[in-house]
Amino acid sequence: MKLRFKTLLGAAAVIVASTLSAHAETALKWAHVYETSEPFHTESVWAAQEIAKRTNGRYKIDVFPASQLGKEADINQGLKLGTVDIIISGSSFAARDFKPIGVTYYPYIFRDPSHLIAYTKSDVFKRLAKGYEDKTGNHIAAVTYYGTRHTTSNKPISKCADLQGVKMRVPDVPAYLAMPRACGANTTPIAFAEVYLALQNGTVDAQENPLTTIEAKKFYEVQKNIVLSGHIVDHLNTLFSKKLWTSLSDEDKKIFSEVAQQAAERGTKKIEAREKELVDEFKKKGITVTEVDKADFEKNVIEKVKLEDFGYEKADWDAIRAIK
């Protein structure tokens, strides 16, 4: 009787253990450098919860905002090392591993957000994304419109030449440097998290970012001029690490991809809507908002900064510009 009881008990323990194993929770880390108030964070949190829901709790994703796990270069490195599983990051960083994808940061390549989104559904995007994945193993699951990059400065700017000699913070990314350098600015790379202080203490006199970022990072508190240069229609990629992507079943790959794309669409809509409101809101705060002749800026970029300087393919530039 005792032996039979022990046998039954052992069998029950095996069943419980196998059941727990089947429903074991996999913990994942999702990292980015943006503020908790921004859609890039709120939609990441939504996506993490949605993935947990659609996989019956098999995945628990913790989202780490505002550079908690490091600067953008750090979390991209973490993707390679397997210390983070999912990140939101620009193609400028993807271009460090696969240069051709950086062509999307060449100034004035996109006309507007709808042109950018059309690109993400095009064959040229699929080819560039595949090139990046072939090189790194990481998977670009979705693209979110980040905003159209404009310039803030201590002094009024009405034309490209007005940037001559201005100390301007620009991310340490070749294509981001193109417009400021074409206009004669003295560019300075400063980490994203340190830009506010650099503007406040006069280390730099200007910077460039979308209106939504200018709001979220409160740059308007330390810069009184917003110049609508619109030089880059920017975007962020949702990236899955090679380690994560290769570990997922086909069914889970479908769930992760669909959720990431839905989160990107939600984020894009929020960014577009907020940008439309911000010009008037900044004016009400006493900020000078200046419309400029973008053709003047574009002409200087095309004349003074060549695609070949960055190793980009003109065929990719032409293909993207031709997208309707």
- Report residue 4's pLDDT band, with 50, 70 and 90 as the boundaries: low
pLDDT of residue 306: 84
Is the distance from CB of 169 to CB of 224 less than 8 angstroms?
no
The rounded distance, in Å, linking the Cα atoms of 66 and 64 is 7
Question: What pLDDT, on a 0 to 100 scale, did the predictor assign at position 191?
Answer: 87
- Above 60 in pLDDT, residue 220? yes
183 and 117 Cβ atoms separated by less than 8 Å:
no
Hey, is 238 helix, strand or coil? strand
pLDDT per residue over 113-131, tens digit each? Answer: 999 999 999 999 999 999 9
Q: Is pLDDT larger for residue 183 or for residue 306? A: 183
**In 3D, which of 160, 176, 172 has the Cα closest to residue 105?**
176
**Could you give the CA distance from residue 86 to residue 134 in angstroms, rounded to a whole number?**
18
Domains in the chain (CATH in brackets) are 24-320 (3.40.190.170)
pLDDT band for position 179 (cuts 50, 70, 90): very high
CA distances from 189 to 168, 214, 269 (A): 8, 17, 30
Whether the pLDDT of residue 20 is over 50: the answer is no
Q: pTM value?
A: 0.85
Reported confidence tier of residue 53, pLDDT bands at 50, 70, 90: very high
Tokens of 212: 């939504």
Determine the average pLDDT of the residues in 223-246. 97
* 33 Cβ contact partners less than 8 Å away, ≥ 6 residues apart: 65, 66, 67, 71, 72, 75, 192, 193
d(CA 247, CA 311): 34
Please, which pLDDT band fits residue 1 given cuts at 50, 70 and 90? Answer: low
DSSP state, 103? G
> 87 and 78 in contact (C-beta within 8 Å)?
yes
- Side chain identity, residue 19: T
